[in-house]
Structure 1
Amino acid sequence: MHGTPSLPVRTKLAYGIGQVAETIKSTGFDIFLFFYFTQVLGLTGTLAGLAVMVALIFDAVTDPLAGYVSDHWRSRHGRRHPFMVVAAVPLGFAWFGLFMPPQSLSQIGLFFWLAGFAILVRGIMTLYYVPYLALGAELTKDYQERTSVAAWRGVCGVLAAALVVLVGLSVFFPDSAEFKNGLLNPAGYPKVALAGAILMSLAILISAWGTRDRIALLPKASNSLVRAPVREDIAAAWGNVSFRALFVGTMLVAVSIGIVQTLNMHLNVYFWQLSSSAIAFLAIGLLVGWPVGIMLAAPLHRRFDKKRTIIVAALIGPLAGNVAVVARLLGVFPEQSSPLFVPLIFSVLFVAGVAAGLAVISGASMMADVTQEHHFRTGRSQEGFLFSATAFTGKMAAAVGYLVAGVGLDLIGFPVQADPSQVTLAEVTRLAWLNLSACLFGFASACAYFFYGIDRARQEHTARELAAREALL
C-alpha cells in the first residue's frame, strides 16, 4: 500500500525485543526442559511427554480466550499493552520455579511438578504473547512494512536463541571430568533458569514501554465487535480460505516441530555423541541461518510473493534438517574423527535455519494480511482472536508431537539417566528413525499453503477499500 508512513526504527526494535521472552521460553523448553526431566531427573518419556502435552493443551485453549478478551479490552492504555505489562514479573517467577522441583520426588511427583509449572508458564506467556502478536499486526497496514516488523521480531528472536544456546550451554553446562557432557550436570539448570527469568521479564517491560507512544494510533474495540458472539467469529474466520490454509499448515508444521524439539537434545547427545560445547558450536549454523532467512524474506516477497516463499521454505526445511541423519543411517556420512564431520552438520543446519527464518517471517506477515481482509469483510478488528486461533491449532498439534515423541522413546526402549557410552547402536538407530517421522508432517504443510489466496494486489486493494470505509466513519 503506497503512501503509508514507515514505522520508526526505534518502534520496530522495541517491538522486536518483546520476542526475546517467548524465544527464551520456547528454546528453554526445546533444549533443556524435556532432557532435564528425563535424562537428569529420571522421569519416563511417556510421563514427560504427557505432562508437556497437558500444558500445551491448556495453553492452546487459553490462546483464543486471551485473544478474545484482548480484542474487546477498553482502557486508556489500549487493548494490548495492559496484558503485556501484567504478565512480565509473574512469568519470571513461574519460569524459575519450573526448574526447581524438590529432591526425591516420585515419578508421579515429578509429573505433576512438570505439568503444573509448565501450565503456569504457558498460561502467563499466553496472557502476554497473544496481545503482543496482535500488536505487531496493528502497527502498520503496509504490505512490505509488515514483513519488516516481522523481520525485526525474528532477528531479536534469533539473537535470544543464540544467547540461550551459546551462553546457556557454555557458561552453565561446561563439560568436566565428572560430567563428560555438561547437560547431565543437574547444578546448571537452576542457574540457566534464573538467568532466563530475569531476561524474559525485562524484555516484556522494554517492549511495552518502547511501543507505548503508538497506543493512541492503534485500533480500538468496535461496537460491532462487542455485540458479535464467539460462534460468529469462528464461522467468519473459517470461511476465509487463506485463514484455513495457514491454520492447517500451522497444524502440520507444529506436529513436526513437536517431535523434533522433543528429541533434538537426545539426538545430539546420543546419536551424534556431541559434547555440550560442540552442541553449542554447531547450533551456530542454525542460528546464523535464521537471520539470513529473515533478511531474504522481504526481497523474496517482492520477487515471488509470500505464498511461494513459504511453500519453498516448508519443503526445504525438513530435507535440510534430516539429510545428515539419513546419510549417517545409510553409512555414507563421515565419521566423527573426519575433518568433514562438523562442517557438514554445520552446513545442513545453516540451510535448515534459512528455511525456518523464511517460513516464520512469511507466516507472520501472511497472517497480518489475513486479519486485514477479515476486518474488511466483517467490519471487526480481531487481530488477537485470529492470531490466537492459529496458535491454538499449532499448540494442540505440537502437544500431539510431544506425546508421540515421549511415548516413542519408551516404545523403542530408550534408557533414561544413561551415559552416552552405555547406549547401544540399535537404540540410537531407533531414536533417529523416530525423529525422521517428523518429515512427513513438514512436507504436508507445503500442500496446505497452496490454498492461500492473498497476493500483493489483493492486499493493497483491500487496504485502500478499508481506509476509504474508515474515512467515512
Structure 2
Amino acid sequence: MSRKFLNSPTAYALGMFAMMVPSQAFSSFYSYYYVEKLGLGVGLATLARVVYLIWDAVNNPMAGYLSDRTNTRYGRRRPWIFFSVPFFMLAFVMVFAVPEGLGDSGLFVWFLTALVLFEAVATLLWVNYGALFPELFRGERLRAKASAIQQGYQILAILIATALSPLIYDSLGFGPMAVLYALVFGIFMLWFAFSVREDEGARAEKPLPLKQAFRETLTNKPFWTFNIANSFAQTVNGLLGSMIPFYAKYALKIPESQVAILLGSIFVTVIPLVAVWYWVVGRFGGLRSWRAALVVYGLSAIPLWFAQSLGGGVAAGIVVGFGMAGFLVTPNVLSARIVDLDAERTGRRREGIYTAVGGFITRSSGLISALAFWIVGLLYGYVSGDDPGPRPETTFRVLVSVVPLLLLAVSFGISMLMKDIGGEDAPKVRSDSGTGTGGSLHG
C-alpha cells in the first residue's frame, strides 16, 4: 500500500462507502418493506423505534467511552471496527430475511429484535469510524476537503442503495438484496480498516475517569447546540430517503420500476455539488456555511409539493440534491473543531465519546421521523399498505415537503444560538505523521 494512500481522505472515505450501502438501504426501505409489503401497522413500527431509542441511549455513549479507553498496538478504534464487521453483516441480512407466517405479533417481535441488533452493531462501527476523522485531519480547510471527498463516496453509496435497490428487490427479493449489500460492505470496510493508522500519541494519553468524561461532555454548550440543531436537519435526510417510495406510489403514481429514476435524480446531482459546498466552506467558514446549508436545504424541499409526474419529481429531486449536498459537507467541519477545543481544555483527545453522544442525539432524529410519519398518517388516515386511507397522496406530499421545511426552520433557529468557534487556528498535522495527506477533491 502506498504511503500517499495510507490515511488519505480517499482511504477514509472507503469506510463511509462501505457503511452507507447497507445503512441507506435499511433507512430507505425498512419502513416500506415492513409497513407496505408485510403489513406491519405504523403504530407498532413507531413503538419499535421508541424501544430502540431507549436502548440506543445506553449503548451509544458507552461505546464511545470504551473506545476512548481502548489501548492496543492496533489503535483505539480499528480493533472495534474489525470485531464489528461480521456481526453487522449478519444483523443486516436479518432485517430483510423475514420468515413467512409470523403473524402480526411475530412480525413485530422479529422487527424489534432485528432493529435492536442491527443498530447495536452499527453503533460500534459508526462511533469508531467517526472518531477517526478529527484525529486524521486537522485544520478547517483540510477537514472541508476530506469531508467533501467523504460525502462524494457517501452519495455514491446512497445512489447505489436507493436507485438500484428497487430493481434488485423487484427481481431477486429483499433477502438476496440484503446478502449482496452485506458482501459489498464487508469488502470495502476491510479495505478501509487496513488503509488507516491511528496516532500513537493519542492512545498514549491517560483517559479521563467515567464521571469526569461525561461531565465534560454534558456541559459543552457548543456541542449540544450544534447536535440538537443537526438532529432536526438529519430527520429530513431520513424522511426523504424512507418516504420517497411512498411518495412515488401515491403522489406521483409511478410504478416501482421508476422509483430508481426518482431517487437517482436526487443523489446523482449531489456528487458534483459537494465541490460547490467545499468552496463555500473555504470562502465563508464552517459556521456560516452550515447555516446557509440549512436554509437552502429547507427551501429545496418546496418543489416536491408541486410535482405531479415522474418528470416533475425528477426536476424537484435535482433541486433537493443541492440542499442535501450542503448539509452533508458542512457539519463535519464544526464537529471536528468542537473536539479540538475539548482537547485543548482537558488535555485528552476524546473523539469516541463526542462521536457517540453526538451520534445518539442525531440518531434520535429517527424517532422524530417515525413520529412525523405516525402523526401525519393519523391526520390523513394512512395506516398501512393494506389500509392507505382516503388521502394517501396528501399524506406523503406533506411528509416530503412541508415537514422537511418546518424541521429545517427549527434547525436554523437553533443554529443561531451558536457562536463562531473558529477553526483555521487548529494545529496542523506534521508531514511525517502520515495523517491527512493524499487524495483529491474528487477522490
Taking structure 2 as the reference length, what is the TM-score of the superposition?
Answer: 0.88
The aligned counterpart of 1:114 is 111
How far apart, in 2, do the equivalents of 1:119 and 1:218 lie?
Answer: 35
Q: 1:407 to 1:150 in 2, by over 3 A?
A: same
Q: Relative to structure 2, which stretch is displaced further, 18-27 or 124-133?
A: 18-27
Could you tell me which of 358, 361, 366 is aligned with 1:398?
366
Could you tell me which of 334, 340, 346 is aligned with 1:366?
334
The aligned counterpart of 1:194 is 179
The aligned counterpart of 2:214 is 234
Q: How does 1:46-445 map to 2 (within 5 A)?
A: 46-173=43-170, 188-211=173-196, 214-217=197-200, 219-223=202-206, 225-226=207-208, 228-230=209-211, 232-325=212-305, 327=306, 335-336=308-309, 342=311, 344-406=312-374, 408-410=376-378, 412-418=380-386, 426-435=391-400, 436-445=402-411
The aligned counterpart of 1:11 is 8
| 2:5–2:195 contact (8 Å) kept in structure 1 | no
| 1:49–1:403 contact (8 Å) kept in structure 2 | yes
| 1:57–1:399 contact (8 Å) kept in structure 2 | no
The Cα shift of 1:188 comes to 1.4
How far apart, in 1, do the equivalents of 2:137 and 2:7 lie?
Answer: 14
Equivalent position amino acid for 1:463 in 2: P
| 1:53–1:403 contact (8 Å) kept in structure 2 | no
The aligned counterpart of 1:450 is 416
3-state secondary structure, aligned to 1:266: helix
Which of these two proteins has the greater Rg computed from alpha carbons? 1
3-state secondary structure, aligned to 1:437: helix
| 1:91–1:124 contact (8 Å) kept in structure 2 | yes
| 1:61–1:392 contact (8 Å) kept in structure 2 | no
3-state secondary structure, aligned to 2:294: helix
Q: Percent identical across equivalent pairs?
A: 21
Q: 1:353 to 1:255 in 2, by over 3 A?
A: same
How far apart, in 2, do the equivalents of 1:306 and 1:168 lie?
Answer: 34
| 1:246–1:390 contact (8 Å) kept in structure 2 | no
Q: 1:270 to 1:218 in 2, by over 3 A?
A: farther
Q: 1:14 to 1:46 in 2, by over 3 A?
A: same
Q: 1:461 to 1:431 in 2, by over 3 A?
A: closer
Equivalent position amino acid for 1:399 in 2: L
How far apart, in 1, do the equivalents of 2:240 and 2:199 lie?
Answer: 42
How far apart, in 2, do the equivalents of 1:31 and 1:314 lie?
Answer: 22
How far apart, in 1, do the equivalents of 2:70 and 2:107 lie?
Answer: 38
Q: 1:73 to 1:147 in 2, by over 3 A?
A: same
The Cα shift of 1:20 comes to 2.1
| 2:141–2:424 contact (8 Å) kept in structure 1 | no
The Cα shift of 1:386 comes to 0.9
How far apart, in 2, do the equivalents of 1:156 and 1:210 lie?
Answer: 16
How far apart, in 1, do the equivalents of 2:31 and 2:328 lie?
Answer: 24
The Cα shift of 1:412 comes to 3.2
| 1:39–1:417 contact (8 Å) kept in structure 2 | yes
| 2:381–2:389 contact (8 Å) kept in structure 1 | no
Q: 1:53 to 1:22 in 2, by over 3 A?
A: farther
3-state secondary structure, aligned to 1:460: coil
How far apart, in 2, do the equivalents of 1:355 and 1:221 lie?
Answer: 41
Q: Relative to structure 2, which stretch is displaced further, 165-174 or 376-385?
A: 165-174
Q: Relative to structure 2, which stretch is displaced further, 387-396 or 422-431?
A: 422-431
Equivalent position amino acid for 2:243 in 1: L
How far apart, in 2, do the equivalents of 1:57 and 1:7 lie?
Answer: 43
How far apart, in 2, do the equivalents of 1:194 and 1:280 lie?
Answer: 20
Q: Per-residue displacement from partner, 1:250-273 (whole Å, max 9, x unpaired)?
A: 222244445444433211211111
Q: 1:12 to 1:461 in 2, by over 3 A?
A: closer
